Amino acid sequence: MSQEKSMEFGIVGLGRMGGNMARRFARQGMKIAVMNRSFDVTEALVKETGHLACVDYTSLVTALEAPRIVWLMLPAGEVTEAALSALLPLLSSGDLIVDGSNGHYKDDRPRAVHCAQFGIEYVDAGVSGGVWGLENGYCIMFGGSDAVAGRLQPYMQALSPTPTTGWLHTGPVGSGHYVKMIHNGIEYGMMQAFAEGFALMKDKSDFALDLAAISELWRHGSVVRSWLLDLSAEFLAEDQIFDGIEPFVADSGEGRWTALAAIEQGIPAPVMTLALAMRFATQGKNDYAARLLAKMRQGFGGHAVKEN
């Protein structure tokens, strides 16, 4: 591998988000170092973008010019912790680590303290945009010192929809992941409201409502217009039945953390909390309770129960 010394920025983790972020940097004319657990993924991306391929953490750190910026786009929790443990002994004082996972904000301050023992600064970045971020840009909320915010500015501008919109230094370490956690809790509530509303309209068979036409109508001038509605209108135009879709909706850690934060802070957040509970219900976690309810109803009223 070439020992190129013209870069300060590298990404670790080239999944759906990290890979597209690297592609967006390339489109902005920025060359970076990239690394992934599976090197074939790294090689394929480098052929496409012209970035510098790194086979491991040592080669990544060697390839970057100090002071370095290493952005981790890895699963939250143990995988990110393992990456930090591997990187810290290799980096130098003045380097910067950005955790772009959907991590818990309570983990960020202890991590920042640990990194500081090596003279390394730590930033927590919440990244929204999903698979559309490559084309539309990402929404990034990040916590850290004012000094690191200045260092990250050109990279935030490259990733965001425009140089002045879509990114924000939210405050001290931990604030980026906290704001992203709340963002995802709101997302849960919005999705649940749309799902319930369209289910009600689908059930009103005597009106024979065209859900595709209604969703398209609401996209123009309505107070409920949003990107979620745009996406809903797109797939409703193709299919309004969804016979091939299993009624199972996963939940991320951030939805649960938002509900817990509401309890800890004593702030009522019933919409977000109930939206999370509805996701649990789709995962079969309401099945036993529903069976017990049916038996209770049979017990006191003699109502029939449906048997498998």
Catalytic residues: 180, 187
Residue 225 neighbours by CB under 8 Å, 6+ apart: 218, 219
Provide the pairing of β-strand 139-143 with 121-128. antiparallel
Residue 81 neighbours by CB under 8 Å, 6+ apart: none
Integer angstrom CA distances of residue 69 from 64, 91, 92, 191, 244: 8, 10, 11, 35, 44
CA dihedral 151, 156, 159, 161 (to 10 degrees): -150
Residue 245 tokens, joined? 């879709």
Residue 5: Cβ-neighbour burial (10 angstroms; 0-12, 13-18, 19+): exposed
**Cα–Cα distance between 102 and 126 in angstroms, integer?**
6
Residue 280: Cβ-neighbour burial (10 angstroms; 0-12, 13-18, 19+): middle
Q: Which residues pair with 64 in a beta bridge?
A: 7
Task: Tell me the HSE value of 45 on the side-chain side, using a 13 A CA sphere.
Answer: 33
**Cα–Cα distance between 176 and 137 in angstroms, integer?**
18
Task: Tell me the HSE value of 185 on the side-chain side, using a 13 A CA sphere.
Answer: 22
